[in-house]
Amino acid sequence: MYSVSHVKRIFIDPGSSANIIRWKVVEQLGLLDQIVPATRVRNEFNIACETTKGEITLLVNTTGIVQHTKFYVIDGEMRYNTLLGRPWLHIMRALPSTLHQMLKFPTSEGVNIIHGEKPAAKEMFAVEEAVQTRKKAMHEGAEDANEIKDAK
């Protein structure tokens, strides 16, 4: 079994009914041969329909707690490399807090807390905002060019 212990940019989404991993991540881990072909359409993902490329079961190591986790593999674009949804949260018996960007879950020694990476999250949203601003400017530039053509 393979482990997802060094994957960065993981998003914990209590609203997602599936665990999702990007095709590129599986490829970089050298695990393409471990993907089980299974085509499914994920309707709630990325505000659009996304067809999965298959499924893969990986070990997820969360500060010493290791769980077998099934992921749907997608080839689409998303801000994160991996999305851990309700199936993983239920296995871990975890409680996420989006307000405090932390995750609490029980262990044999007590309650474990993992804090999110706030600087990394802010950086990702800043990059996304810059891309959206650039696209908007390009679109407005095209509209201005069309207005000039129409005026002639």
| pLDDT one-digit tens code per residue, 29-49 | 888 888 888 877 766 555 566
- Could you tell me if 19 and 93 lie in one domain? yes
> Angle at the Cα of 29 (from 25 to 34), degrees rounded to 5?
95
137 in a structural domain: yes
With b for 16 or more beta-carbon neighbours within 10 A and e for fewer, the 15-46 pattern comes to ebebbbbbbebbeebebeebbeeeeeebeebe
Structure tokens at 148: 């000039």
Q: Are both 87 and 150 inside the same structural domain?
A: no
pLDDT digits (tens, 9 = 90+) for 72-84: 998 877 788 888 9
Looking at residue 124, its pLDDT comes to 46
Domain span holding position 147: 118-152
* Under 8 Å between Cβ of 26 and 73: yes
| Side chain identity at residue 88, one-letter code | W
Question: Does one domain contain both 102 and 148?
Answer: no
Is the residue at 74 inside a domain?
yes
The verdict on 46 and 81 lying in the same domain is yes
Domain identity same for 49 and 62: yes
* Per-residue pLDDT reduced to its tens digit, 96-115: 888 888 889 988 889 988 88
Residue 3 included in any domain: no
Predicted TM-score (pTM) of this structure: 0.67
- Does residue 4 sit within a domain? no
CATH, residue 87: 2.40.70.10
d(CA 124, CA 112): 26
Residues 15 and 47 grouped into a single domain: yes
Q: Looking at the structure, tell me whether residues 71 and 141 fall in a common domain.
A: no
CA distances from 133 to 7, 19, 82, 126, 143 (A): 29, 30, 26, 10, 15
Separation of alpha carbons 44 and 30, rounded Å:
28
Average pLDDT value for residue range 128-140:
57
